[in-house]
Amino acid sequence: MASSWQQLSKEITEAIDHTGKSIVAVDGRAGHTSSGIVWRKDFVVTASHSIRQEAEIRVLLGAEQFVKARLAGRDRGADLALLKLDQEVEAPPAEFGTTALAVGDFTVAVARTRRGNLVASSGIVSGLMGEWKLDRTRIDQFIRPDLMLYPGFSGGALVGAEGKILGLNTSGLLRGKPITIPSATVTRIVEVIATSGHVPQPYLGLVLQPVQISETLQASAGVKATMGLLAMHVQPGAAADAAGMFVGDILLEIDGKPLEDLTDLHDVLDNKGVGQEVAVTLLRGGKVVRSTIKLGARP
């Protein structure tokens, strides 16, 4: 019994020490530090809510080992921020794992304090769900670890039994409750930020207002829709303008989905990418018009 316990303790300690080499402390809001994960030799990924300034950010690699950094970009919906370091560091880039999780799996949260000390917290995975969305950002999996995220733990790593990083921990998404952004989401979003400086969101360039479709208009136009989205403004040069939409057009459907309110529109756009085309059905001057719009990027 004792030897098994000692062996387990040793393996956990080794996993924390191994992962800890890729974990840093981040000073991005006037003395209140968070943690970060070394993504590349000159990039660190951390929790977006902990970054309040875009320049003069300090990354602490160890005791008195500071490197200056700046904000390369962020996705507030996923609470992820990418920091560009002023110089490459010797800390090894993190090893992200893709192991399938199960409720009850033992995990460890690894972080660093404002003085560079390695700290950890442990617990099981208490909740798992499939894909979910926050502020139009797709999160590949909902992971809820049953462990304590102490002050400064946000931006640190969740480590699994194989000793690899399963995701980035944050208390900034669900009212202070610990949540882990899975490694697949972190990698996908950070790669986009590194290339473009932000995560492009699909954009029509319309100001829309839900309106009722009268029975008279339904009958004359030959449609069954009772609601639609009225174009109050069309942004010059944006996607809808390029497709030939006008103020006064009433959107009825997008990709076959009826549009009764703005949520219906967002549900479709959230699953689209910049540059993709969507099919739209609209009313113009009492007549049905069908067209396609090539989605632009939100400014």
What's the CA gap between 43 and 38, in Å, rounded? 6
Buried b (16+ CB within 10 A) or exposed e, 206-225: bebebeebeeeeeeebebeb
Beta bridge partners of 37: 23, 45
Residue 136 has pLDDT above 70, yes or no: no
Q: Which helix (H) or strand (E) holds 59?
A: strand 57-62
Buried b (16+ CB within 10 A) or exposed e, 40-76: bebbbbbbbbbbeeeeebebbbbeeeebebebbbbbe
Which tokens belong to 54? 């875009």
pLDDT tens digits for range 207-238: 999 999 999 999 999 999 999 999 999 999 99
pLDDT tens digits for range 65-88: 889 999 999 988 899 999 999 999
| Full-model pTM | 0.74
Show me where the domains of the chain are located: 2-196, 202-297
The closest alpha carbon to 141, from 170, 109, 184, belongs to 184
What's the CA gap between 102 and 99, in Å, rounded? 10
What's the CA gap between 281 and 257, in Å, rounded? 10
259 neighbors 268 (Cβ within 8 angstroms): no
Domain covering 2-196 assigned CATH 2.130.10.10 in the classification: no
pLDDT tens digits for range 11-56: 999 999 999 999 999 998 766 889 999 999 999 999 999 998 777 8
Q: 202-297 falls under which CATH superfamily? A: PDZ domain (2.30.42.10)
Q: What is the DSSP string of 164-208?
A: SEEEEEEEEEETTEEEEEEHHHHHHHHHHHHHHSS---EE--EEE
Which pLDDT score is estimated for 1? Answer: 53
